Amino acid sequence: MPSIPVSASSPPLLRAEGLVVHFHTRDGVVRAVDGVDFEVGRGETLGIVGESGSGKTISSLALLRLVPPPARIEAGRVLFEGEDLLALPETAMTRVRGRRISMIFQNPATSLNPILSVGAQLSEILVWHGMATKREAPERIAELLRLVGLTDPAARLRQYPHELSGGMRQRVGIARALLCDPSLVLADEPTTALDVTIQAQILDLLAELRARLGMSMVLVTHDMGVVARMADRITVMYAGRVCESGSARTIFHSPQHPYTRALLDSMPRLDRSYRSGGRQLLPAIAGRPPGLLNPPAGCRFAARCPEATAECRRVLPVQVAVGPDHMVACLRRGSQGMAA
């Protein structure tokens, strides 16, 4: 078991340990999440970064035990406020979901029920969790809609999702996540489906709400820019495993894992020139992530890694501390190997 140093001051709000999620398909077992650890402190925002298929969304769904079939959580612990969520009975889980941990979805166009009015779907949740009676609910929700920046909340309550713009829908989605004043909000690519101008507004809103309500957040995204702006700590995922994790400052200023470095290098920066003689010079990572049906032995990134050695292709690296609050899973940075 890889161990994560517990910050001395206070235990983290949530800690995922050795999370394993497999998709049981006709062709075999797809190891979508293969032994992932991360933690979120109180009031802290953790950014989980990775490309499509790296397992970041599945990891966040696994926290709520909502991985879609044929996926199944095979192993691990999710310690949240002192209890292991993966060991709770399902009925107890319905009191965690939405109330203590809630979720903001990627696509606001599809994550609201099209045939229920905004007021109806939000009040159902509020009433179910016993946070308000049916009579009180509209007022509470209107208040929240105002908080997330929607004008004329009374009218919004009666509207249906298709009558709202994308940005407004995402604000409703955020309001839904805040209904029961949760201590942790999971945001899965909350701005990816939005226009660039709306993206900025939604990010500002999330930052403001976090400061105001003091909640913790897990922000799942492929967008380094979003993470740079929002996250206190960062976990970088690749092909179902964590490559590197640490404070946002460390990850951006002294990345250690070759994948993190390549990822940061492939971000366009205004202070660099990428064109010379008409050739595009923005660096890209050659190759593609490995298939997770039969992942290669050894480091998942080895095939694309400029520093890979023969050992890297054979041995799976385990995370090792390379600095205060900075962990890397790379044999070239001192990681121990794990028997594959």
Shortest spacing between CB 334 and another protein, in angstroms: 39
Cα gap 251→235, rounded to integer Å:
9
Single out the residue of 98, 138, 190, 246 in contact with another protein (rule: CB under 8 A). 98
Residue 137, C-beta contacts closer than 8 angstroms, at least 6 positions apart: 119, 122, 123, 126, 127
Nearest to 330 by CA among 306, 303, 310, 301: 301
Shortest spacing between CB 318 and another protein, in angstroms: 32
Cα gap 142→157, rounded to integer Å:
7
Query: Hey, which residues between 143 and 172 contact another protein (CB under 8 A)?
Result: 160, 162
Tokens of 61: 């769904």
Secondary structure in 3-state letters for 93-154: HHHHECCCEEEECCCCCCCCCCCCCHHHHHHHHHHHCCCCCCCCHHHHHHHHHHHCCCCCHH
- Burial zone of 127 (CB within 10 Å; 0-12 exposed, 13-18 middle, 19+ buried): middle
Shortest spacing between CB 87 and another protein, in angstroms: 18
Cα gap 304→311, rounded to integer Å:
14
Distances, alpha carbon 207 to alpha carbons 33, 226, 284, in Å: 28, 11, 30
Site for another protein contains 288 (CB under 8 A): no
Site for another protein contains 95 (CB under 8 A): yes
Distances, alpha carbon 61 to alpha carbons 55, 67, 290, in Å: 10, 5, 22
Is residue 185 within 8 A of residue 215, CB to CB? The reply is: yes
Single out the residue of 5, 72, 83, 94 in contact with another protein (rule: CB under 8 A). 94
Residue 175, C-beta contacts closer than 8 angstroms, at least 6 positions apart: 122, 141, 144, 145, 147, 148, 150
Candidate segments 6-14, 96-104, 142-150, 231-239, binder of another protein by CB under 8 A: 96-104
- Indicate the residue among 102 and 199 with the shorter CB distance to another protein: 102
- Indicate the residue among 122 and 224 with the shorter CB distance to another protein: 122
DSSP 8-class letter at 13 = S
Site for another protein contains 192 (CB under 8 A): no
- Indicate the residue among 159 and 247 with the shorter CB distance to another protein: 159
Candidate segments 73-81, 99-107, 242-250, 300-308, binder of another protein by CB under 8 A: 99-107
- Indicate the residue among 182 and 240 with the shorter CB distance to another protein: 182
Site for another protein contains 257 (CB under 8 A): no
Shortest spacing between CB 290 and another protein, in angstroms: 27
Candidate segments 35-43, 91-99, 139-147, 198-206, binder of another protein by CB under 8 A: 91-99
Site for another protein contains 105 (CB under 8 A): yes
Cα gap 180→103, rounded to integer Å:
12
Query: β-strands 216-221, 184-188: how paired?
Result: parallel
Single out the residue of 2, 42, 88, 117 in contact with another protein (rule: CB under 8 A). 117
The SS3 call for residue 338 is: strand
Site for another protein contains 96 (CB under 8 A): yes
Site for another protein contains 125 (CB under 8 A): yes
Candidate segments 30-38, 175-183, 209-217, 219-227, binder of another protein by CB under 8 A: 175-183
Shortest spacing between CB 24 and another protein, in angstroms: 10
- Indicate the residue among 91 and 197 with the shorter CB distance to another protein: 91
Residue 310, C-beta contacts closer than 8 angstroms, at least 6 positions apart: none
Candidate segments 45-53, 90-98, 206-214, 301-309, binder of another protein by CB under 8 A: 90-98
Q: Which residues bind another protein (CB under 8 A)?
A: 61, 64, 66, 68-70, 90-91, 94-99, 102-103, 105-107, 110-117, 121, 124-125, 128-129, 160, 162, 173, 176, 179-180
